[in-house]
Structure 1
Amino acid sequence: MNDKSLLTKKIVVLPLTMLCCLLWGSAFPCIKLGCRYSAVSSDDTASQIFYAGLRFTLAGILALILGSLIERKLLVPKTSALKKAAKLSLFQTILQYTFFYIGLSRSTGMKSSVITASNVFLSILVAALVFRTEKLTVRKIFGCLIGFSGVLLINLGGIGGGFRFTGEGFVFLSALSYAFSAGLTKRYSKTEDTVLLSGWQFVIGGLFMTALGLILGGSITVINAKGILMLIYLGFVSAAAFSIWGVLLKHNPVSMISVFGFMNPVFGVILSYLLLSERSGAGVYKVVAALVLVASGIVTVNTASNKNKS
């Protein structure tokens, strides 16, 4: 995966991004199931943070083991890389997932999917206005609007019920944190191994959240096979998806890769329905229409990215 030309080809980028989106989409219902299996209630913030910390510590370990096996050497960071991993961890793990876990527990999987989709807009805005790694164009904005309309369509009927700052508001802050982490990943990957950065930032962030959860009084009182397997799966989701996504961000514009994130809530809605029986107002025709809109948005932004690579 170190061949730049290969990692910029659509025939490679498309299936890899879809795999990441499927994994992330499954996280919406699986986090709820995992907390249910481990008896972590929606009003127990400390235990939610503790649970997330365990997940990401595991994700970091899995990413580092996998990366070490692939590269046939231990992924031990230098001091400079460790500092970058710590900064990345603040946004990609600590802030993003502290807000996400707490917010998701106070909202529905469908509403969270829609709000999380805003990270596509935010990532492109942050990349263009804060990190200045690419240009912000009308075509990119238009493509995002088309894709987001598909996200809204598939969630019709499941996005009502009001707004809570510690619910939907926290999910939005999670999306904003992700946008900054995408920009940092793009910047740091120019000089550092992306899998090494991903693994160590998860370890740092996971240990921090685990310790914070314990200090606040969090715990997991119910331990069973279902809960353990779900925790392992969630760790795998993060290890695999973020490592692959980081490699793709290294070799492509942020807008080109981030726009595929509109598929996350599409998968999230479908899997929330299958696993949690959370129903949206979207029938078969609306789901198909939503997929067409999301695909159109992805094509529009990628056309803009190809013309304005930076």
Structure 2
Amino acid sequence: MEQQYRAASPRPASRLAVGVVSAGRVGSVVGAALERAGHRVVAASAVSDASLERAARHLPAAEILSPHQVAAAADLLLIAVPDDAIAPLVASLPVRPGQIWAHTSGALGAAALAPARDAGALTIALAPVMTFTGRAEDLERLAGISWAITGEAESRYVGEALVLEMGGEPEHIDEADRARYHAALVYAANHLMTLVNDAADQLRAIGVNEPQRLLAPLVSASLDNALRHGDAGLTGPVSRGDAGTVAAHLGALAGTGIEDTYRALARRTAERALDSGRLKPADAEGLLDVLSERRSAHPEEETP
């Protein structure tokens, strides 16, 4: 079914004149990917020195114009501004019936472009499932990634065609599911960054000079195990029910600022280990007692 659906998806009939608002970390890179696919970025908005530099690097043929002028010049208008800025920006720009309008927000669906849709544009939420750091590798990282597409039927087809042209994999997300979809990505990607950096801080605090070098093989293998094997790839003291080890960890982390985070994640790990059969209920009793908030908050009330 998937192959038949993709074969039936129409491709843009001609190369499109693309306008980018604005040439930030995401907009400049997605604009460059569209150029690689054969479209022409004819205009972009850029105000800060960093955006002007990115436009010069990724979109050298684009004329730097105001957002209003960019919208007027584009067949395909790519809106890549912060989430909260999308709705007021869309309401302020001119719309030409038959234009394609797309935004790159992961959190928002096509409803954010409703004023443009009502004025005759075809509107798509078109979000790359990738992190953008502003470094040179951002463009190369787009190869083969997934893109979340939300829109009405014709819009979805056009969005799918654009993604396939850029070498990506389209993933259709319903409008009502965008927030949950985006929460899952943030939970995995942004919180992973926080966890790794917190771990590096703890190692640095005890004298490890290059914690990133120490952590890289372990964290990389753990991520690979999670993606390949799911809960079956879980290892460590929680999956074994080693309550004494976990208690020692909590004691060592007291006052570091991450004790509560460790406790919450260990409890969630225990739940997944129990549900998957990795941890037996009998082995979990002592562990869950160590992880209980009551035990932590009121040690004087514990039973000897």
Q: What is the TM-score when the length of structure 2 is the normalising length?
A: 0.24
Higher RCO (CA < 8 A, seq sep 6+): 1
Q: Which has the larger radius of gyration?
A: 2
